[in-house]
């Protein structure tokens, strides 16, 4: 009997700290699970918010609006209405979920805002362009094209050079084609031809959309250069000229 009492006492004394630590472990696991569920739900909500903004970004403009729009599609009667609503939707996605959508949503929103509040949009693009990221590179490209479109050639050139130094996920050939077009429009034909030829002469680009565009401009600016190009080897089914870096193409 004495041995039984002694054993029972020993077990009780040692079970208290064990139960204590088991309780702590359960609490820690529960907190981890709650945190995971919170962030998983927040990530899901952030994705849905950005998707709603993208639906506006990709909306059609028609007047009258087609009666049979596909599910989830958006339509507006004017470009101005679309740009304002898209900017609003991207601003909401960025403000509600900055850690998920922040720079990307602000960048896309700014490309729409350029159409009705250009100064504010440029300020946003300048801020984002300072970042060493893929979205930062996209902002540098948007700024370069904006400066080019508004006749600020020196600023446009500066942005293109920054972009060449830090291209992010934008293919270098895409940047060179944009720069060649800029040279062409500013009367620097030799520089434009040199870049067009370098793109077209690249065997990996020759049969892509970039290569085709370069050859087309060469045939206008320097037809003799076209004869110096190697023959096309084979078509590249992935050689289109979509948005660089896999990002959605902004509407400017």
Q: Residue 88: beta bridge partners?
A: none
Give the model's confidence band at 34: pLDDT under 50 very low, under 70 low, under 90 confident, else very high.
very low
Q: Which of 33-42, 106-115, 132-141, 215-224 has the lowest mean pLDDT?
A: 33-42
CA distance 83 to 111: 9
CB 182 within 8 A of CB 160: yes
CA distance 177 to 172: 9
Higher-pLDDT residue of 70 and 8 is 70
What pLDDT, on the 0 to 100 scale, is given for residue 7? 47
Give the model's confidence band at 100: pLDDT under 50 very low, under 70 low, under 90 confident, else very high.
confident
pLDDT at residue 123 above 90? yes
CB 97 within 8 A of CB 45: yes
Higher-pLDDT residue of 16 and 150 is 150
Q: Which of 43-47, 151-155, 207-211, 233-237 has the lowest mean pLDDT?
A: 233-237
Within 8 A by CB and 6+ apart from 177, the residues are 195, 196, 199, 210, 213, 214
Tokens read off for 124 = 């946003």
What pLDDT, on the 0 to 100 scale, is given for residue 9? 52
pLDDT at residue 166 above 70? yes
pLDDT at residue 180 above 90? yes
Q: Which of 172, 151, 169 is nearest to 161 (CA)?
A: 172
What pLDDT, on the 0 to 100 scale, is given for residue 184? 95
What pLDDT, on the 0 to 100 scale, is given for residue 247? 57
Pairing of strands 60-61, 75-76: parallel
Q: Residue 75: beta bridge partners?
A: 60
Output the pTM of the full model.
0.75
- The string of pLDDT tens digits covering residues 36-62 is 454 577 788 888 888 899 999 999 999
Within 8 A by CB and 6+ apart from 168, the residues are 133, 134, 135, 136, 137, 138, 245
Tell how many helices (H) and how many strands (E) occur in the chain.
10, 2
Give the chain's radius of gyration (CA, Å): 28
pLDDT at residue 114 above 60? yes
What pLDDT, on the 0 to 100 scale, is given for residue 45? 84
């Amino acid at each position: 009997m004495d041995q039984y009492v002694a054993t029972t006492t020993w077990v009780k004394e040692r079970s208290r700290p064990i139960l204590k630590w088991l309780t702590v472990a359960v609490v820690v696991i529960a907190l981890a699970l709650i945190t995971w569920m919170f962030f998983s739900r927040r990530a899901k909500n952030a994705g849905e918010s950005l998707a709603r903004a993208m639906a506006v970004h990709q909306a059609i403009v028609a007047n009258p609006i087609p009666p049979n729009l596909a599910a989830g599609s958006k339509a507006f009667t004017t470009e101005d209405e679309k740009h304002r609503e898209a900017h609003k939707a991207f601003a909401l996605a960025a403000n509600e979920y900055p850690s998920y959508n922040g720079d990307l949503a602000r960048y896309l929103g700014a490309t729409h805002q350029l159409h009705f509040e250009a100064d504010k949009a440029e300020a946003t693009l300048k801020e984002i362009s300072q970042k060493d990221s893929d979205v930062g590179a996209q902002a540098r490209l948007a700024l370069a094209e904006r400066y080019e479109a508004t006749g600020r050639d020196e600023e446009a050139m500066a942005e293109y050079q920054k972009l060449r130094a830090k291209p992010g996920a934008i293919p270098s050939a895409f940047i060179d084609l944009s720069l060649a077009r800029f040279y062409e429009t500013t009367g620097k034909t030799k520089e434009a031809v040199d870049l067009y030829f370098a793109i077209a002469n690249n065997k990996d680009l020759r049969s892509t959309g970039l290569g085709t565009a370069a050859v087309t401009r060469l045939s206008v600016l320097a037809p003799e250069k076209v004869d110096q190009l190697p023959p096309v080897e084979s078509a590249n089914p992935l050689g289109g000229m979509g948005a660089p870096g896999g990002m959605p193409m902004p509407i400017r």
